[in-house]
Amino acid sequence: MGVGILASRAIRPASRLLRSQTSNLSLRTIVSKPELQSPEAAAASQPAEPPKNQILPPRNPVGGARVHFANPEDAIEVFVDGYAVKVPKGFTVLQACEVAGVDIPRFCYHSRLSIAGNCRMCLVEVEKSPKPVASCAMPALPGMKIKTDTPIAKKAREGVMEFLLMNHPLDCPICDQGGECDLQDQSMAFGSDRGRFTEMKRSVVDKNLGPLVKTVMTRCIQCTRCVRFASEVAGVQDLGMLGRGSGEEIGTYVEKLMTSELSGNVIDICPVGALTSKPFAFKARNWELKGTETIDVSDAVGSNIRVDSRGPEVMRIIPRLNEDINEEWISDKTRFSYDGLKRQRLSDPMIRDSDGRFKAVSWRDALAVVGDIIHQVKSDEIVGIAGQLSDAESMMVLKDFVNRMGSDNVWCEGTAVGVDADLRYSYLMNTSISGLENADLFLLVGTQPRVEAAMVNARICKTVRASNAKVAYIGPPADFNYDCKHLGTGPDTLKEIAEGRHPFCSALKNAKNPAIIVGAGLFNRTDKDAILSTVESIAQANNVVRPDWNGLNYLLLYAAQAAALDLGLIQQSAKALESAKFVYLMGADDVDVDKIPKDAFVVYQGHHGDKAVYRANVILPASAFTEKEGTYENTEGFTQQTVPAVPTVGDARDDWKIVRALSEVSGVNLPYNSIEGVRSRIKSVAPNLVHTDEREPAAFGPSLKPECKETMSTTPFKPVVENFYMTNAITRASKIMAQCSAVLLKK
């Protein structure tokens, strides 16, 4: 008992009667002990450390991560809280603690960005160091003894938290980040329970960064994660830190919008609610959302996403970690096109009346009508076209149905006549997306990866930044967020490189791991064979295709293309569409509607009333990618599955079920009636589509291809994607995408 308690006794009532009653009650004054005042005294009063030879329980790295030792003989041993861990040589103290299973709080450190070390939340105590060190910046030295749970470290965290909260506004009830805010979580876990700030808080003016990112800069804690992300990963130098001290502001110095296609990722990166999603503002709290882990289909990359839904509505889309494909980022189109899923949805089967208007009918009637008409048509006048968002199961059933009706005309959008799917290397990204990091020279032929596949572009940007790789580009003038040499605009430049006359050839010969990326937009050209054989001859001459490194890549445009080519949905004859009498469009909106003859009977099966619906005679509503379980193969041959997150709209059905029901009504007996049956059928055609979450590389190289005798035309390459924000039915129906394309595209 100290003097304090005796003194406080004097304050209490001295009456004996009252004392006996109040002795156990809450009338206690706050007493502070010397041990609580300073950390050193507390450390002195703690019991001695446990003996060294005590066996400590085994610890796993944070998050179940695996540690990669680049040089196993260069491993260092450090001690984290008494536990010895082996870490590779260049690791920082924070990374060593992560390997030891200790998660150190941090705000400014992010594993994929450069180290800033300005938040000071990661301070830990290191023996023989006069002050606590910032673990994110200090390299781990051999024999270092790191202590993360001592009173000094705890006091440091409480102090940093107190400082951060001093100027932070009391916005939790109106801040979108509430519930998933790093500041909230870390102040509960590591902060003190009271503050001492009694002055006025500072406030900062909000910046306008565009229709996607909402900024409340008063909440910013100046961690500079967004600045580092924009300059390193996105490659644009839009954001910066202005001012000094407490007057620091993050912003664009001029009144500029964030036009980068990766701008939505700063929303995930910002630890507080300073940068939030503008379409998602005030819509939902994160605890009322159900997250479903699925795959994105807006481009051929197949980024892993988590769809957050509340009931039947998709509220937002968040990226998932996948080291091989998209790391932790997704493009703006993936992130913000979800509101297109609520507009222009087809929900009932419809038949066009004699006066030209659509009338809603039941499934029985619609399928009966289609089944009747399909028997009145000759078998080679039947054409089936799969769309860019079709999954492998529905394409398999469509191909089986059309083939059993006697026709060979079933293909996927984007594959022009003459594209053959015999050899898989000729339409896949043979260096996988993660393998692009090892390339030191890129040659982009007719492709603008920034608008076609934003995650591939991010990977190229990462490689350029990390290892100073060189990028050369042949095609129409486009903007890149890394240094890129524009060699030419057309096939002439290709011919020059193939013949060795171009100055670029020497760079190509000297590169150790060259990567050639050919865009799938070239598949639509008439001289496609000549161009592709020229590219392959360049590859042969410069040792691009080797047993240990295959640098010849084809970048596909649509999510359904790789699976379609694996299943064999290719266009055999050029005149098939012009002489068709029965056209079955399964979500195909990019088909040139004028090419369909006026007397053809068109059935449109899809989820949005987009372009091709206006020509259709019968509409069959299908489910979108967030509502069905479908298999998609990305451009590198990685098979993934979407998972249904929300129920289907109205009377819509799954694509493959519609085709299977139609086949039964038409009298064609397909040998499967469940999704497992469809998958076993796919297994006999393309077994790699059944092995989800596995990449199947191409088996043979270009050596098997026959020589091509055609000549190249001289028309320059055209850009494939005109408007990045409006490429498929869902994005065209989305209001956010419309705002973006109106405001953010460079005119």
Q: Which residues of the chain form contacts with other proteins (CB under 8 A)?
A: 362-364, 623, 648, 652-654, 657, 660-661, 664-665, 673
Q: Report phi then psi at 554, rounded to 5.
A: -120, 125
Closest CA to 722 of 441, 417, 416, 448: 448
Least distance in angstroms from the C-beta of 686 to other proteins: 24
Least distance in angstroms from the C-beta of 412 to other proteins: 24
Least distance in angstroms from the C-beta of 309 to other proteins: 16
* Total residue length of the chain: 747
Nearer to other proteins, 187 or 626 (CB): 626
User: What would you report as the CA-atom Rg of the chain, rounded to the nearest whole angstrom?
Assistant: 31
Query: Are the C-beta atoms of residues 5 and 31 closer than 8 Å to each other?
Result: yes
Nearer to other proteins, 228 or 608 (CB): 608
Which amino acid is present at 239? L
Nearer to other proteins, 366 or 494 (CB): 366
Least distance in angstroms from the C-beta of 253 to other proteins: 53
Nearer to other proteins, 477 or 671 (CB): 671
Least distance in angstroms from the C-beta of 657 to other proteins: 6
How far from 241 is each of 228, 257, 262, CA to CA, in Å? 10, 16, 20
Least distance in angstroms from the C-beta of 654 to other proteins: 6
Tokens of 166: 């001093």
Tokens of 247: 């007057």
Least distance in angstroms from the C-beta of 625 to other proteins: 15
| Beta-ladder partners of 278 | none
Least distance in angstroms from the C-beta of 673 to other proteins: 4
Token look-up 């990390």 returns: 466
Least distance in angstroms from the C-beta of 630 to other proteins: 14
CA-CA distance, 251 to 215, in Å (whole number)? 10
CA angle 92, 93, 98 (to 5 degrees): 95
How far from 189 is each of 63, 103, 184, CA to CA, in Å? 18, 12, 9
The number of angstroms, rounded, from the C-alpha of 159 to the middle of its chain's C-alpha atoms is 36
CA-CA distance, 452 to 461, in Å (whole number)? 15
CA-CA distance, 556 to 570, in Å (whole number)? 15
Nearer to other proteins, 72 or 671 (CB): 671
Least distance in angstroms from the C-beta of 603 to other proteins: 16
DSSP conformational letter for 322: B
Nearer to other proteins, 382 or 652 (CB): 652
State the CB neighbour count (10 A cutoff) for residue 709.
8
Query: Are the C-beta atoms of residues 646 and 313 closer than 8 Å to each other?
Result: yes
Return the sign of the alpha-carbon dihedral for residues 575, 427, 608, 639: positive
Q: Report phi then psi at 518, rounded to 5.
A: -105, 135
Query: Are the C-beta atoms of residues 340 and 730 closer than 8 Å to each other?
Result: yes
Least distance in angstroms from the C-beta of 608 to other proteins: 17
Least distance in angstroms from the C-beta of 666 to other proteins: 12
How far from 684 is each of 395, 566, 567, 623, CA to CA, in Å? 14, 12, 10, 26
Least distance in angstroms from the C-beta of 370 to other proteins: 14
How far from 743 is each of 211, 338, 479, 700, CA to CA, in Å? 8, 19, 17, 46
Nearer to other proteins, 364 or 546 (CB): 364
Nearer to other proteins, 327 or 400 (CB): 400
Nearer to other proteins, 392 or 665 (CB): 665
| Beta-ladder partners of 554 | 518
Nearer to other proteins, 301 or 346 (CB): 346
DSSP conformational letter for 204: -
Strands 83-87 and 76-80: antiparallel
How far from 661 is each of 364, 564, 672, 688, CA to CA, in Å? 10, 21, 11, 26
Nearer to other proteins, 94 or 624 (CB): 624
Nearer to other proteins, 678 or 686 (CB): 678
Nearer to other proteins, 131 or 364 (CB): 364
Tokens of 268: 């995930």
